[in-house]
Every structure is written in structure tokens, then in C-alpha cells.
Structure 1
């Protein structure tokens, strides 16, 4: 595979790139690590992390497979690939390797024991085709494990006008740029349409309401990251959106009354090849 293949930074890296200090990462990584272990990731495995972003899932996998294993990150963004390489160097992880390019461009010398991804399918025009291509990089008996969001379960109790407004902005924006906002609960159907064995499934959600609940900050991060795209699409005027004020309103309308926010569901699906 050509590691010099270039690509522009996509909108998703602003909203979902999840730099290593972000609230999103701290909320999602424990769910993903638990998912990977349940799916069957083990020490010594050779793993491909597709659509790796800045490498959060890559490093979770690297911790599981250990130095006797190997994790290859595949990512189109050159800045994200650079971030992974720097982070691996900082941690002394010689078993982590980052490659720049797309799944269509990738050519590997040997099949993998596992192919994994978080948010790797959300922008795929044909999800079953992408799953089939992911599986084509596996050895016989290899593991395919992916996690995707489902926004349908996100809710505030009691009802919050600010939460509903933010959720509408986010889902409308994602829908207009081709993101599957209900993909999590559609994964089983897509696995079967790809001709893959019926997957096992797990759904998890982050929930909280008190002033220290990081979900408020996470929603603010997502909103801030999407504002340029929302403005470009004419959905809002970015200069009219005060993100810190929105975050404060969320707590005032929900947490201050003993209520809770339930963030979008993170759905995992995994299967092994015959």
C-alpha cells in the first residue's frame, strides 16, 4: 500500500476525530475496550484498525494484543496518521503501525486475525459492500468487530428544548453529509446482506445528569466541531451559536431538576469467519 496517498481532512475529524484529550474519548474508550475483549481480541493477534482517526481504538487494541501482537492503523487523513505515529513513538509501542490511505487502496501481504473499527462505516455509501471488503482482509476464522452510533436512543428526561434542538442540528447535519445516524441498530442487517455470519451484538449508552457529567461537554464538543459544516449547509449561523451557553442550558434544563441525559447509543457487532 502506498503510505504517501494524500487526502483532505474530512469534516468528521472536527466533530468525531476525538483527539486524545477530548471528553468523547474518555466516555467512549471504556465501552470500546470492553467490546473488543468480549468480541474476542486477544494477546498476540495481528489486527487492522480501519478509519482509525487519531488512533484511540488502535491504542486500545495495542494494549490488548500486547507487544507479541501487531496493530496496523489505516486512515485517510495525513494529520491523523502523523498523530498515531507520534503517539506510538511517545509510548514506545513498536507493534503499532499507521498507514495512510483508504480501504480501496490498501494492499496487505498477509491476512489479519482481526479487523476492527469505530465509526468506520458511518459514511460508507454501501455498508454491506464495505463490510465485505473488511472481511476480505481476514484469515479463516478471523474476527470482524465494529462499533457505530445510533442517535435514536438519545434522550433527555425531563424533556429539554435545548437538548432537542442540539440533537436536531447534529442529526440533520450528519444526514446531509451522508452519515448514517441510525447505523448502530442496522448493523445486523448489513452483516447479513454482506453474506457474513450472523453477528453477536452489544449496545451501551452513557447516562448522567449531575454537574460533573461529561456528557454535557461531549455534546458541546460535537456541536462546536460541526458548526462550520452547519453554517455551510445553511442550517444555522455559527456566529449565533454560543456553545458554552448551550452546555449551561442543558444542565439547567435537565440536571438541575434531577433529570438525566442519555447520549447516543454505541452499538457493537462482531462475527468470525468460517
Structure 2
């Protein structure tokens, strides 16, 4: 199957024998070190498009839409959407289809933390990693907002998607794009998440709030990765006083991406 795909063209990757497809964006050449970009909850790989060209100067960039997100398959079975299923899909893409090794991973937000923790159960993928970096998201969402987002009522879900897009937009600065257009594109990505996947994400966020935030559960996978190094360093430039937490995280994200592309 590897011979039937182009390693540099955006396309659907068939996950045989599972019978589902993941949409994947590519940039750079396979001869470079692989960089796997993992979008956050209620997102798609489209959030990385402003940075793909610069990252491709030094990396072979692979950015998939996880199952139920973006242009990937939308299955009707609730059991298809779980953190372990998402990790298994990534393992197939990296190991069986693309044959990647020494992988740098950049994951967004708490969804990235869940993926990182789940890797402790998937040694095949963990052994292929060189570094795992988690970039910040807002520390918390109003849980009532997430409940409305997964509502079967289209109007309620749509309004919630607009609210969530307003929270996420400062984290993805896009030069040269009008704020209204960027907001609309973000809403579109949120709305592309399958309702069953959205419901599972609500459970994950609730789990993160109780297990990781309240109790400070350690990430066990940190003890098993071969070489856990930050792909990029945190900027030590102090921000101006009076900035909001979202502005600080937006600046941190922009700095991280900028430093990665050097």
C-alpha cells in the first residue's frame, strides 16, 4: 500500500483492515526528520496550514485529521471514538503506511495530554518517538458550553461552536486573514467533528478536569519514552503586563512555532 500513495500530497490514507480513512496533510520531503502535528479537541489539521511551509524547510510534516474530525471518516459506532482508537490510528499511519521513525510530535492542548498518556499502552508507537511537545490551550472551557456543543439540536450546537471558536481563535494567529474569515473557518472545523466524537471529547475534557487538574495525576508515559526532549524552547521574553491569559498563550504559541521554523 505504501507504494500506491504519494508521500507529499494531501490525501486520504486507508487504514486497512480497519476500513476507515484519515485525511492527512503533508509538507516537506520524506528525507527530513518527521514532524507529526496533532490538532486539539474540536479542531482539524487545518489549524496548522499557516505554518506548514515554514516547518517544511527542516521537517517532513505530517498533519492528520483524527477519526471523526475534519475530512476523516465519520463512523456511526460510539465505540470507534476513544483515545486508544485515535492512538491506534496514529500508530498505523506512522508505522505501517509511512514507516516513520525518530518522530517529533507537536500536540495541542489537553487532547494532546490524553494522547501522550495513552502512548504508555502502545509501545510500538512510543518507540518511534524522539520528542513530544504539548502547546497550550485555554486551561478550561465552561463545561456547559461543551455540553451544548454536542447537543442534537442544530441551533444550540451551532451557537456553542461560535462561542468555542471565539475562545480558540486567539491561539491561532493568521497574518493577512480577516478576523471574521478566521472565525468562520474555525467554526467550520468545529462543526466538522462528528457528534459521537464530540460527545467522547466532552468525556475526555471532564476526565482531564478531574484526574489531571484536580488530582495532578502524573503522565506515566513520561517514564517510558526513549528521549523526551522539547522540540522548541519556551520563550523567556517577558510579556507586557496586563495581558490576558489567552493573549499570553497566543504569544507563547506564536513564539514556539516561530522558533520551530528557524
Q: TM-score, normalised by structure 1?
A: 0.36
| Larger radius of gyration between Structure 1 and Structure 2 | 1
Q: TM-score, normalised by structure 2?
A: 0.37
Query: Larger % of helix: which?
Result: 2
